[in-house]
Amino acid sequence: MSATDLELRLPLGDWVEAGVDGLIATFGGFFDLVKTVLVACFDSLELVLATPPMWLVALVLAAMAFAAKGWKLAVGALVGFVVVQGVDQWDNAMATLALVLVASVIALAIGIPLGIWAARDDRVSRAVRPVLDFMQTMPAFVYLIPVVIIFLTGAVPGIVATIVFALAPGVRFTELGIRGVDKEVVEAGHAFGSTPGRILRQIQIPLALPTIMAGVNQVIMLALSMVVIAGMVGADGLGRDVVSALSRVNVSLGFEAGLSVVILAIYLDRLTSALADRSPVARAMRVTAA
């Protein structure tokens, strides 16, 4: 008997493939509904961002930056958006922004409640932690394969893969923020007769908001980092031009699309960071430190 005959191969990949086939056969209607909803959300948001004149959308985004941080961020945002328009990437940038926003909102809608649940129940925390580790360490191309099989090509597989990739920080930072609230403050709330729900709404979430907003920032940044992978499966946006530049070895197109991604990333990072700094707890901490 040879050494080859003694080898034992565990067919995990075959089991996963069979599982995916079973999911498609069993929940095909549900997946179609998910696809319809995601396409509608993406198309609607892209229409809102891409249909008006560039200068109008740029002014609205700059006004948001001004309200959050001040005139410096607003002027910087306007300059960045003019550069994006100048390299003829505005429509692609708005498609990418729409994809990032849809994926981030869904990831946060799942991640923040799950993080709160994990912070309030150690059993949930222990169950969720290895799943999050798996989601963060598994290469995105691996779980993109079953997503493409289920949803085919286009924006939807890119959105779903982005949600999976960006979900973990929302859960982790929310749990960390809730658990980091001073227990004496929570006990004081109990002593005054507050219900657990009221303590969560009026004590734990406000005090944990700076940490939760850091998680929001990370979710958005991770979502934006997935635009190239989304472009590989046919999603509109900057990722498609990056993939096209790579396949054609087009340095010019690749640099212009990559620069536009960087400008969007800086804008979203500064905006979410500024919103986190505007929370009452963050302002109180700055006053205390001063």
For residues 22 and 182, what is the distance between their CA atoms, to the nearest angstrom?
47
pLDDT at 83 over 90: yes
Q: Is the Cβ–Cβ distance between 153 and 213 less than 8 Å? A: no
Mean pLDDT of 14-28: 78
Tokens of 145: 């394969």
More confident residue, 226 or 108: 108
pLDDT at 11 over 90: no
CATH topology of domain 25-289: MetI-like fold (1.10.3720)
Q: Is the Cβ–Cβ distance between 72 and 274 less than 8 Å? A: no
Q: Which pLDDT value is given to residue 273?
A: 85
Mean pLDDT of 250-273: 89
Which of 83-87, 138-142, 258-262 has the lowest average pLDDT?
A: 138-142
In the chain, where the domains are located? 25-289
For residues 171 and 216, what is the distance between their CA atoms, to the nearest angstrom?
10
Quick: pLDDT tens for 118-132.
998 889 999 999 988
Which of the four pLDDT bands, split at 50, 70 and 90, describes residue 84?
Answer: very high
Q: Which pLDDT value is given to residue 76?
A: 92
Q: Which pLDDT value is given to residue 60?
A: 93
Task: Say what the pTM is.
Answer: 0.86
Q: Which pLDDT value is given to residue 6?
A: 52
Q: Is the Cβ–Cβ distance between 126 and 189 less than 8 Å? A: no
Q: Which pLDDT value is given to residue 289?
A: 57
Mean pLDDT of 175-203: 83
pLDDT at 12 over 80: no
Please return the burial class of 289, using the count of CB atoms within 10 Å of its CB with bins 0-12, 13-18 and 19+: exposed
Q: Which pLDDT value is given to residue 286?
A: 58
Centre a 10 Å sphere on the Cβ of residue 50 and count the other Cβ atoms it contains: 18
Closest by alpha carbon to 223, among 96, 37, 34? 96
For residues 81 and 93, what is the distance between their CA atoms, to the nearest angstrom?
9
Task: Determine the straight-line distance between the first and last CA of the chain, rounded to whole angstroms.
Answer: 77
Quick: pLDDT tens for 55-72.
999 999 999 999 888 888
pLDDT at 1 over 70: no
- Kindly report the average pLDDT of the chain as a whole number: 84
Q: Crossing angle for the helix pair 12-50 and 90-120, nearest 10 degrees?
A: 120
The pair phi, psi for residue 96, each rounded to 5°, is: -65, -45
Quick: pLDDT tens for 155-180.
888 888 888 888 899 999 999 999 88
* CA atoms within 13 A of residue 7's CA, in its CB half-sphere: 5
Tokens of 91: 């429509």
Mean pLDDT of 40-44: 91
Q: Which pLDDT value is given to residue 283?
A: 61
Q: Which residues of 68-84 are buried (b: 16+ CB within 10 A; e: fewer)?
A: bbeeebbebbbebbeeb
For residues 140 and 167, what is the distance between their CA atoms, to the nearest angstrom?
13
Which of the four pLDDT bands, split at 50, 70 and 90, describes residue 285?
Answer: low
3-state secondary structure of 289: helix
For residues 282 and 268, what is the distance between their CA atoms, to the nearest angstrom?
19
**What length is written for the chain?**
290
